[in-house]
Amino acid sequence: MKHIFAPWRSAYVESVGKSSECFLCKAFNSSPEEDRKNLLLFRAKRAFVIFNLYPYNAGHLMIVPNEHIGDYELLDSETALEMHRLLKLSIRALRSCLSPHGFNVGYNLGRSAGAGLESHIHLHCVPRWNGDTNFMTSIGKTKVISQSLEDLYDRLKPIFDSMWDDFKG
């Protein structure tokens, strides 16, 4: 068996099941001065954009309603619309910064659908590149993320801030 050292995962593994506090609400309710530390990329009126701490690919973002809602059917129309405007902004910003060839976009609603957090819905936006499933993932069963979240945050934050006026309607 091969082992790959990934010390950043220990915080997640040690916290599973120990906290009843929603990590998305915790990030949103923190001071905007802590947004970089929390990897909260952008705050809008009804929703926000945050990095996935355990990304599938570099630039894996989540668009999240400000309100703690676990059922998509309870999401009001204005929030749903703003979340999709933020998705459009996320795609444009990621294209500008990382030049992906495509995107996976979607919700995982319920544990059986793959939701790691069922109690607070969130929309995933995952940039994809031709060939990003390579021998490491297919043979080695290991995913390599090529950039730090902090580096990507610093590159994407000014793009989000400068583009939002074009998307808010």
Residues tagged active-site: 122
Q: Which of 100, 105, 89 has its CA nearest to residue 163?
A: 89
Alpha-carbon span 76 to 116, nearest angstrom: 23
Instruction: Return all residues near 143 (Cβ < 8 A) that are at least 6 apart.
Output: 56, 136, 137
Asked whether 49 and 84 are in contact (CB, 8 A), the reply is: no
Q: At what angle do helices 77-98 and 149-167 cross, to 10 degrees?
A: 120
Alpha-carbon span 47 to 87, nearest angstrom: 11
Instruction: Return all residues near 168 (Cβ < 8 A) that are at least 6 apart.
Output: 44, 82, 85
The 10 Å Cβ neighbour count of residue 75 is 17
